Amino acid sequence: MVRAADAAAVAAGARVGMPAAKARILVQGLVVRDHDAAADAQGLDRLALWALRRYAPIVAADSPDGLVIDSTGADPLHGGEEAMLAGLIYRLSSSGVRARAAIADSWGAAHALARYATRPVLIAPIGHGDSVLTGLPLTALRLPAAMVAALHVLGFERIGDLLAQPRAPLTLRFGPQLGRRIDQALGILSEPIEPIRPDELIEVRRNFAEPIGAAETIARHIGELVVQLCAGLEAEGLGAKRLDLICHRVDDRVQAVRVGVAMPVRDVKRLTRLLTDRIDTIEPGFGIETLSLAATLAEPLTEKQTLTAMVDDGAPDVSDLVDTLVNRVGEHSLYRAAPVATETPERSVRRIPPMAPDTGETWQGRWPRPSRLLPSPEPIETMAALPDHPPVAFTWRGVRRRVRRADGPERIRGEWWRRDAELTAVRDYFRVEDDAGERYWIFRSGDGEDPNSGSQRWFLHGVFG
Amino acid sequence: MRQQPAIESLRAQIEKIEGRARRVKSVLPFGIADIDARLPGGGLPLGALHEIAGGGNGAVDGAAAALFAAGIATRTKGKVLWVITRSDLFAPALAQAGLPPDRVIYVEAGNDKTVLACVEEGLRHGGLGAVVGEVARLDMTTSRRLQLCAEGSGSIGLALRRWRRQSEAVDFGQPTAAATRWRVSVMPSAALPVPGVGHHRWLLELIRVRAGESADFEVEACDGSGRLAVPAELAHRPASTAGWRRGAAG
The residue extents of the domains of chain B are 42-183
| Model pTM score | 0.73
The last residue of a domain, from among A300, A320, A354: A300
Cβ contact B67–A406 (<8 Å) = no
Residue B201 CB partners (closer than 8 Å, separation 6+): A437, B186, B187, B188, B189, B190, B218, B219, B220, B221, B231
Nearest CA in chain A to B85: A333
**Closest CB from A315, A318, A439 relative to B125:** A318
Q: Are residues A182 and A241 in the same domain?
A: no
Q: Are residues A273 and A293 in the same domain?
A: yes
Which CATH number fits the domain that encloses residue A289?
3.30.1490.100
Work out the minimum CA distance from B76 to partner chain A, whole angstroms: 13
Predicted confidence (pLDDT) per residue in B181-197, tens digit: 999 999 999 888 888 88
Return the CA Rg of chain A. 31
At residue B193, the pLDDT reads 86
Q: Are residues A47 and A26 in the same domain?
A: no
The closest alpha carbon to A394, from A444, A445, A455, belongs to: A444
Annotate B116-154 with b (16+ C-beta within 10 A) or e (fewer): bbbbbbbbbbbbbbbbbbbbeebeeebbebbbbbbbebb
Cβ contact B127–A338 (<8 Å) = no
Number of residues written out for chain A? 465
The answer to whether residues A448 and A428 touch, using CB atoms and an 8 Å cutoff, is yes
State whether the Cα torsion A161-A166-A169-A175 is positive or negative.
positive
State whether the Cα torsion A186-A188-A193-A194 is positive or negative.
negative
Residue A74 CA: distances (Å) to CA of A8, A102, A119, B109, B122: 37, 15, 23, 18, 24
Q: Are residues A58 and A135 in the same domain?
A: yes
> What is the DSSP annotation of B20-79?
--PPP--EE--S-HHHHHHSTTSSEESSSEEEEEE-TTHHHH-HHHHHHHHHHHHTSSS-
- Do β-strands A58-62 and A66-70 pair in parallel, antiparallel, or remain unpaired? antiparallel
A163, part of any domain: yes
Q: How many CA atoms lie within 13 A of A47 on its CB side?
A: 25
Q: Are residues A99 and A10 in the same domain?
A: no
- B171 inside 8 A of chain A by CB: no
**B229, amino acid identity:** A
Question: Residue B221: what are its φ and ψ, rounded to 5°?
Answer: -60, 160
Q: Are residues A62 and A168 in the same domain?
A: yes
Work out the minimum CA distance from A404 to partner chain B, whole angstroms: 9
Q: Which residues of B touch A406 (CB under 8 A)?
A: 195-197
* Distance in Å from the first CA to the final CA of chain B: 29
> What is the DSSP annotation of B128-153?
-SEEEEEES---HHHHHHHHHHHHHH
The number of beta carbons lying within 10 Å of the beta carbon of residue A131 is 11
pLDDT band at residue B161 under the 50/70/90 scheme: very high
Nearest CA in chain A to B108: A333
The partner residues of A462 in beta bridges, in order of sequence, read: A373, A441
Owning domain of residue A236: 202-300
pLDDT over threshold 80, residue B233: no
Q: Are residues A4 and A81 in the same domain?
A: no
Q: Is A390 exposed, middle or buried (0-12, 13-18, 19+ CB in 10 A)?
A: buried
- Higher pLDDT among residues A366 and B180, named by residue: B180
- Residue A430 to residue A382: CA distance in whole angstroms: 13
Work out the minimum CA distance from A317 to partner chain B, whole angstroms: 7
The partner residues of B135 in beta bridges, in order of sequence, read: B161
The verdict on domain B42-183 having CATH code 1.10.10.10 is no
Stated as kind and residue range, the H or E segment containing A231 is helix A215-236
**A31, amino acid identity:** V
Structural domains counted in chain A = 4
- In chain A, the largest separation of any two C-alpha atoms, in whole Å, equals 89
Q: Are residues A170 and A210 in the same domain?
A: no
Give the B window 7-46 contacts with A, CB below 8 Å. none
pLDDT over threshold 60, residue B244: no
Q: Which residues of A touch B226 (CB under 8 A)?
A: none
Q: Are residues A50 and A96 in the same domain?
A: yes
Cβ contact A438–B56 (<8 Å) = yes
Q: Are residues A43 and A29 in the same domain?
A: no
pLDDT band at residue B66 under the 50/70/90 scheme: very high
Cβ contact B109–A438 (<8 Å) = no
- B63 inside 8 A of chain A by CB: yes
Give the B window 122-161 contacts with A, CB below 8 Å. 122, 125-128
Nearest CA in chain B to A351: B106
Counting one residue from A and one from B, how many pairs have CB atoms under 8 Å apart? 162
Q: Which residues of B touch A378 (CB under 8 A)?
A: none
The answer to whether residues B199 and B190 touch, using CB atoms and an 8 Å cutoff, is yes
Give the B window 75-94 contacts with A, CB below 8 Å. 78-79, 81, 87-94
At residue B159, the pLDDT reads 95
**Closest CB from B97, B106, B188 relative to A337:** B106
The closest alpha carbon to A283, from A56, A73, A68, A81, belongs to: A73
Predicted confidence (pLDDT) per residue in B140-154, tens digit: 999 999 999 999 888
At residue B21, the pLDDT reads 47
Cβ contact A370–B90 (<8 Å) = yes
A313, part of any domain: no
Q: Which residues of B touch A348 (CB under 8 A)?
A: 92
Q: Which residues of B touch A463 (CB under 8 A)?
A: 57, 61, 63
Phi-psi region of A360 (alpha: psi -120 to 50; beta: other; left: phi over 0): left
**Closest CB from B114, B128, B200 relative to A439:** B200
- B107 inside 8 A of chain A by CB: yes
A359, part of any domain: no
- A396 inside 8 A of chain B by CB: no
Residue A371 CB partners (closer than 8 Å, separation 6+): A462, A463, A464, A465, B63, B64, B66, B67, B70, B89, B90, B93, B94, B97
Interface-testing mutation among A327, A364, A372, with chain B (most B C-beta atoms within 10 A): A372
Q: Are residues A130 and A240 in the same domain?
A: no
Q: Are residues A181 and A242 in the same domain?
A: no
At residue B19, the pLDDT reads 54
Q: Which residues of A touch B94 (CB under 8 A)?
A: 371
- Residue A348 to residue A39: CA distance in whole angstroms: 50
Residue A33 CB partners (closer than 8 Å, separation 6+): none
Tens place of pLDDT for every residue, chain A, 465 residues?
888 878 788 888 777 778 888 888 888 888 888 888 888 888 888 888 888 888 888 888 887 788 988 888 777 677 778 888 888 888 888 888 888 899 988 888 888 888 888 888 888 888 887 788 888 888 888 888 888 888 889 888 888 888 888 888 888 888 888 888 888 888 888 888 888 888 788 889 999 989 998 989 999 999 999 999 999 888 888 888 888 999 998 888 888 888 888 888 888 888 898 888 888 888 888 899 999 999 988 888 876 655 555 555 566 788 889 988 988 888 888 999 999 988 889 889 999 999 888 888 888 888 999 999 999 999 998 876 667 788 889 999 999 999 999 998 888 887 777 777 777 888 889 999 998 899 999 998 887 777 777 788 899 999 998
Q: How many CA atoms lie within 13 A of A13 on its CB side?
A: 12
Cβ contact A328–B117 (<8 Å) = yes
At residue A70, the pLDDT reads 86
